[in-house]
Structure 1
């Protein structure tokens, strides 16, 4: 049986002086870990990546999904003791959609008509949308849509989360204390959580080995076996929808020719990538994301390396003996290793790949989203929300500069289609377009691997891709 007490120390990948406590603008793992302790969302993804209610008692659509009624659970309070009301939810939506906030979820929430929200009573509101949107509950389950009180100031963060703010030093660490008014019965179990930033993998692992932290995210693949063989440590491995990708800008040579993009996809030996880059801790992918979406196009023929066909396509495109630069950075497990392996695989097709390694600051700097040929990694998402994040003309992270009018129309239609069968048909058509001529080389879905000491309990595998049971540290407890 879970017991209360103790102080949990967690080592988290990344961190810088740009770290934030803002509920709506987390960027890296430490930011994400902090907001999940401080704030709760109206809905949440469970460990199987299905949407469940959280602060909301229900989120119900009209017949055409052009309107949604949201009712809060009764008795909810913020950290400062203020009751959570429908007015706070309205204020949260206003803040999320305010361009000055730069909220990560703004594109997904763009259908909300802020001038047409009706507060029905203190716990209930009705959203009337600019256009139907069947994905709203999924968006409201994203970790960066936390409900905040009217007048919220991220410098003095107040939420409804399992832990309350105690201290914060950007780039170093943050501390949070147990919220005794938390709405989930019995949780959280520990009295305090300290999140410690570790930009360096070796330092993070050494901190766990030395007992300086109780858990770490992003266990390097080369350390998995060593940790697994220690009696005082445990490895937490989750199969996820996280995906690693090479990004080809479809609007600049040579990638503006779809034959070149097809050739590059055929260059990749996906089995070798998973075996050597991930050490088997993942599965091959097929240039399509959203593997857990019910509408995932699983019938698309699995691509395998075909050097002869790749050479033929390059010859047709007039790009024999092609030379390209591939930009990479140590921003996710396996990126740099897969870049070097891709260069070796491409050489067999007459392609010379110059791998240019830059720092994370340069990679995500002024040229981010501009590199002609680069890499990225993404957490698990369902198809429509991922498309709105990365593959529509207005997407905030359209790294391939994808702009296909038919694709855009199909995704918009699917988002407005209530009937699941009809929506699936539309999404299959959209995915077929990406599969045939898109700008991503999606070679693998990665497992998420963390580690913790044997005295910690409560961590469970999760499909979401967020580390350490989606950073839901409210679940963790210590053995006596």
Structure 2
């Protein structure tokens, strides 16, 4: 199976003095106006960074921030994730497994339609998953469905997902935004949509205009959504303060208080399970020695990372992902221990310290800064870090998943779905090259059990293996912090890690200004 690329370019931040000047120039003569109660009509202008010539409206290959935003608004999956990162129905009325989780039966909601007025049928669902799992052209979500044998329509609104092996996590897999439902005659160049909006216009790297899907099963308030691309955070924040846009996705965390001081602005600060790990390839020296990996974890001052990298907008990590998972473990909190790190390095054959190259890029807010702080902290243990900074396109290019020591970012996911994405041999993003037979055996047992409570012990066994020997350094979980004009309503805290309430613009309105 081919591995899909994954990249995201984000701009650099403004200085505090620069933004203070912009705020003073833009805000003095304008009084803040609250959104009030929901009203119908209006256009929402959203500023984002990271667009490029490869931008897409294809339902199944979103890459950067803008792609994900378009995907969430143009297409619905059978299930989705709510603001608390819980799986909830979207196009499906129900989705249930048989006793051994080898057959999942789905029933569509009554009357769901595409944006051209046609009914969404089981045949469309069948086509959508065949497109995602096409062995000659696998899409982003393909790794979630390696056990999917076939989708068999069984009625006007019903179908069976027949699996080659048990999978108790299948309802989580179909909830990913990368598993949107499209019609059987789908043309990504002229898309017919299943989400709350349809496409009005699209110019890669510049702008996208969405308009309501009048056949969507739920209400929306806006007449239009404009997604406007900006080259960097400097231009993005300038556009917000000068009222060229109504909301922006992601702000430099060091500038939150300064932006909030403008009476016209509101800050949306959401705690999430989003993480910015350091990735050590367990199959390459020096990280093929577990003692080296353990030493690198012990040099990190996690509280200092949260303060210096995230300006306090985050929570401390413990080398384990999925903090919102029902079965998140209560392992002893790993703390900085320079003496023990030195001892482990000496036992691994590095009594005089070690030289490593850390590849970083502005792939997410805080990534480059965390690399710099890590290098300073690691030096105390004799770990001499040479930082190699590349641009985001290079980072997520041909060498992505091949770096010996690098970084990445992940939005909120439960533990088991995250393992599927990054910690087993067929994972599309196995950046640490973790492939342990004992781990895989336990994981196969756990994946077959639908109930989180019943698989708790197995999950803890898997988590303990990764906590003790894995290739991730998970130092913290970053808040998602966005900014918007106070006349924008409907934006709420959202734990998915996706900006602006998870990109759910169907519930946003513009107050009467």
Asked if these proteins are the same fold (TM beyond 0.5), I'd say yes
Q: Which residue of 2 aligns with 1:305?
A: 336
Deviations 1:432-479 (A, max 9, x none): 000001000000001001111011000011111111011001111011
Match of 1:437 among 464, 469, 473: 469
* Mapped pair 1:172 → 2:203: no
Deviations 1:101-141 (A, max 9, x none): 43111111122112xx3311111001211111111111111
1:150 offset after TM fit, Å? 0.6
1:420 offset after TM fit, Å? 3.6
Q: 1:119 touches 1:125 (CA, 8 Å); kept in 2?
A: yes
Provide the C-alpha distance between the structure 1 equivalents of 2:439 and 2:473, rounded to a whole number of angstroms.
Answer: 18
Q: Which residue of 2 aligns with 1:349?
A: 381
Q: 2:274 touches 2:478 (CA, 8 Å); kept in 1?
A: yes
Q: Which residue of 2 aligns with 1:85?
A: 121
Q: Which residue of 2 aligns with 1:181?
A: 215
Provide the C-alpha distance between the structure 2 equivalents of 1:256 and 1:385, rounded to a whole number of angstroms.
Answer: 25
* Mapped pair 1:118 → 2:168: no
Provide the C-alpha distance between the structure 2 equivalents of 1:407 and 1:199, rounded to a whole number of angstroms.
Answer: 43
Q: 1:25 touches 1:102 (CA, 8 Å); kept in 2?
A: no
* Mapped pair 1:42 → 2:78: yes
* Mapped pair 1:105 → 2:108: no
Match of 1:326 among 354, 358, 363: 358
* Mapped pair 1:388 → 2:420: yes
* Mapped pair 1:262 → 2:262: no
Provide the C-alpha distance between the structure 1 equivalents of 2:43 and 2:451, rounded to a whole number of angstroms.
Answer: 48
Deviations 1:331-389 (A, max 9, x none): 11111111111111011101110111111111111111111110111001111111111
| RMSD after superposition | 1.0
Deviations 1:77-103 (A, max 9, x none): 111111111111111111111134431
Q: 2:278 touches 2:473 (CA, 8 Å); kept in 1?
A: yes
Q: 1:175 touches 1:192 (CA, 8 Å); kept in 2?
A: yes
Q: 1:41 touches 1:141 (CA, 8 Å); kept in 2?
A: yes
Q: Secondary structure at the match of 2:182?
A: coil
* Mapped pair 1:472 → 2:507: no
1:198 offset after TM fit, Å? 2.2
Match of 1:207 among 239, 244, 249: 239
* Mapped pair 1:245 → 2:245: no
Provide the C-alpha distance between the structure 2 equivalents of 1:99 and 1:359, rounded to a whole number of angstroms.
Answer: 31
Q: 1:379 touches 1:464 (CA, 8 Å); kept in 2?
A: yes
Structure 1: gaps of 5 or more residues:
none
Q: 1:19 touches 1:170 (CA, 8 Å); kept in 2?
A: yes
Q: Which residue of 1 aligns with 2:227?
A: 195
Deviations 1:41-71 (A, max 9, x none): 1111111111111100100111111111100
Deviations 1:229-272 (A, max 9, x none): 11111110100000111000111111110000000000000000
Match of 1:411 among 443, 452, 455: 443
* Mapped pair 1:160 → 2:194: yes
Provide the C-alpha distance between the structure 2 equivalents of 1:407 and 1:20, rounded to a whole number of angstroms.
Answer: 37
Provide the C-alpha distance between the structure 2 equivalents of 1:86 and 1:263, rounded to a whole number of angstroms.
Answer: 52
Provide the C-alpha distance between the structure 1 equivalents of 2:254 and 2:190, rounded to a whole number of angstroms.
Answer: 40
Q: How many residues align?
A: 475
Deviations 1:207-250 (A, max 9, x none): 11111111111111122111111111111010000011100011
Match of 1:428 among 444, 460, 476: 460
Q: 1:13 touches 1:218 (CA, 8 Å); kept in 2?
A: no
